[in-house]
Amino acid sequence: MNLSLSTLTSANTPLTLNHSAAQVGIVHLGFGAFHRAHQALITDTYMQEFGGNWKIVGVTWGSSDLPQKMAQQDNLYTVGVGYNDTLNVQLISAIEEILTSTQTDQVFAYMCSPDVKIVSLTITEKGYCHHPATGDLDLNHPFIQHDLADPTHPQSAVGFLVEALNIRRQKDIAPFTPLTCDNLPENGHVLEKVVLQFAQARDPELHQWIKNHIQFPCTMVDRIVPRTTENDINRVEQVLGLRDEACVVTEPFLQWVVEDKFVNDRPLWENTSIANIEVTDNVLPFEEMKLRLLNGTHSSMAYLGYLSGYQTIAETIRDPKFKYFIRRMMDDTITPAVHIQGVDLDDYKSQLIERYENTALQHRTWQIAMDGSQKVPQRFLQTMRYGLDHHVDLSPLYLALAGWIRYVSGIDEQHQAIDVQDPLRDEFAAIWEQHKDQPQAIVNAFVHLDSVFSPEFARDNTFIESLTGALETIMTLGSKQAVYQWVSTHKN
Ligand code: CS2
């Protein structure tokens, strides 16, 4: 039996439906697994505890079948919170409906409704259509070119935001707060910059109005939510007694730090009974800690783990040498580049390792390895910039960065194809095709990819030599042995 309004009473665990009478207050662009287990769940709890009209309309991009799946389930879904062998399932009823980005009229009807106070986003790094190394909007991006030519049928999230704000301005409707929840440093500033540059290219007056009236809060979001697998759906069904095609399986940990800078109402999420939600004046130290320590080591395990034959993060960290390598990377290389007061970083790092070890999550190294060109700048390079300026031992991160370069060659260490998913996939393949087994030439070509590497890296001999050395080691020994060798020379 499938989950829906009419089957709720047949569930194994009692499920209560909460907010059927509430109105929509939030539009969320990029309705994926992460949002379902994070902001939507938190907002659901908020409405349970305090009421309010904060139902969410989700918008998906691409050929996702989630809108149909959710519609078949009356827009209900469940979140399975898993820790090793235990799984607890929670019903979420905060979703009004899911649209696709091609349903332009319906999306704008919601985005321009006076009841909608927040438009939040999890569109992934590449959804910002910007150059990661500079933060500038990529005016040559096909979506952006399309949206400048035809602003009322946008393809990009930026195009949707600017047109909706434009309509609200013309109709004198109070604006919404654009709330980015993506893993980008200073994500609010990144969004602000691309929105303003897009508006400027469209209409300088609109640009000025947005500049004067809109605020873009920064946020730090954290919860590990792998893409849902068939296995997850089956496990949730076992617990629930109902089949939920839209479920997500996540970990117990959750954190959300939000900058207090809203131009319209918002739910007071921080007042819910959920721990680790904070509204503050300064999110940047939290972002820095999370992006560098968590996402930096996640991506390191993704590339080096995948190449070592490990399918998941839990499998990678179960290798004691990898565990040692990752912890030393955190302690010696990344921590000097983290500046936060009032957080016990030792606890934070130990907790990260425990989170990685959670076998309830099948978080594939391949999934995290995706879109490296969009992730490497904030996950590796900012830490490395700091380390180069402050004489920090960067050797573990050189291996990780070399692991990325090796991974995107598209051929693994057993000569099998790797399904590389990245906007720069063709550029990577061309570099490897041209320079084959010459680490120095490959590194030289990579550091000149200026949407990833800012120019100072291409001029830095220490950086280039160390990276070349790391790539040479990986190409000679293989990734696993490269990590093992690092461990044997660094273990005291
Ligand atoms: C991961 C993140 O897929 C990835 O790149 O590193 O999605 C990670 O799981 C989250 O940021 C955890 O909060």
DSSP output for 185-207: TTHHHHHHHHHHHHHHHH-HHHH
DSSP-assigned beta bridge partners for residue 222: 255
Q: DSSP readout, 326-393?
A: HHHIIIIIIGGG---SS--HHHHHHHHHHHHH-TT---BHHHHHTTHHHHHIIIIIHHHHHHHHTT--
> 299 CA distance to ligand 1 centroid (A)?
9
Ligand 1 nearest-atom number relative to CA 299: 6
Answer for the pair 360, 87: CB distance below 8 angstroms, yes or no: yes
Ligand 1 nearest-atom number relative to CA 371: 5
* Fold agreement (5-280, 284-490): no
Which residue owns the Cα nearest ligand 1 atom 13? 222
Residue 298 Cβ inside 6 Å of ligand 1? The answer reads yes
> 291 CA distance to ligand 1 centroid (A)?
9
- pTM of structure: 0.96
What's the gap between Cα 463 and its chain centre? Answer: 27
> 257 CA distance to ligand 1 centroid (A)?
16
Residue 207 Cβ inside 6 Å of ligand 1? The answer reads no
Intervals of the chain under pLDDT 70: none
Structure token digits, residue 442: 């490959």
Which residue owns the Cα nearest ligand 1 atom 10? 224
pLDDT score recorded for residue 15: 84
Under DSSP, the state recorded for 138 is -
Domain locations along the chain: 5-280, 284-490
pLDDT score recorded for residue 133: 81
Length of the chain: 492
> 103 CA distance to ligand 1 centroid (A)?
29
Ligand 1 nearest-atom number relative to CA 363: 9
Indicate the fold that domain 284-490 takes in CATH: N-(1-d-carboxylethyl)-l-norvaline Dehydrogenase; domain 2 (1.10.1040)
Residue 183 Cβ inside 6 Å of ligand 1? The answer reads yes
Answer for the pair 61, 101: CB distance below 8 angstroms, yes or no: yes
Distance CA 492, CA 482 (A): 18
Long-range Cβ pairs for the range 4-13 (8 Å, 24+):
4/72, 4/73, 4/74, 4/76, 5/74, 5/76, 7/242, 8/76, 8/91, 10/241, 10/242, 11/240, 11/241, 11/242, 12/239, 12/240, 12/241, 13/89, 13/239, 13/240, 13/241
Q: Which of 276, 295, 374, 379 to mutate to test the pocket of ligand 1 (most atoms within 8 A of CB)?
A: 295
HSE at residue 210, side-chain half, CA atoms within 13 A, is 27
Ligand 1 nearest-atom number relative to CA 226: 9
Write the burial class of residue 95 (CB in 10 Å: 0-12 exposed, 13-18 middle, 19+ buried). Answer: buried
Ligand 1 nearest-atom number relative to CA 221: 13
Q: Which of 123, 352, 368 to mutate to test the pocket of ligand 1 (most atoms within 8 A of CB)?
A: 368
Q: Which of 42, 224, 250 to mutate to test the pocket of ligand 1 (most atoms within 8 A of CB)?
A: 224
What are the Cα distances from residue 301, in Å, to 186, 255, 399? Answer: 24, 22, 11
Which residue owns the Cα nearest ligand 1 atom 3? 368
Packing angle, helices 320-328 and 479-490, rounded to 10: 60
Tell me the three state secondary structure of residue 463: helix
Which residue owns the Cα nearest ligand 1 atom 4? 368
Spatial neighbors of 347 by CB under 8 A, at least 6 apart, are none
pLDDT score recorded for residue 479: 98
Ligand 1 nearest-atom number relative to CA 379: 6
Which residue owns the Cα nearest ligand 1 atom 1? 368
Spatial neighbors of 431 by CB under 8 A, at least 6 apart, are 442, 445, 446
Ligand 1 nearest-atom number relative to CA 223: 13
> 295 CA distance to ligand 1 centroid (A)?
6
pLDDT score recorded for residue 406: 98
Handedness of CA 434, 437, 439, 440 (dihedral sign): negative
> 312 CA distance to ligand 1 centroid (A)?
13
pLDDT score recorded for residue 63: 83
Ligand 1 nearest-atom number relative to CA 34: 7
pLDDT score recorded for residue 309: 98
> 263 CA distance to ligand 1 centroid (A)?
29
pLDDT score recorded for residue 32: 95
> 392 CA distance to ligand 1 centroid (A)?
25
What's the gap between Cα 462 and its chain centre? Answer: 31
CATH class of 5-280: alpha beta
Under DSSP, the state recorded for 77 is E
> 111 CA distance to ligand 1 centroid (A)?
28
Distance CA 31, CA 33 (A): 7
> 200 CA distance to ligand 1 centroid (A)?
32
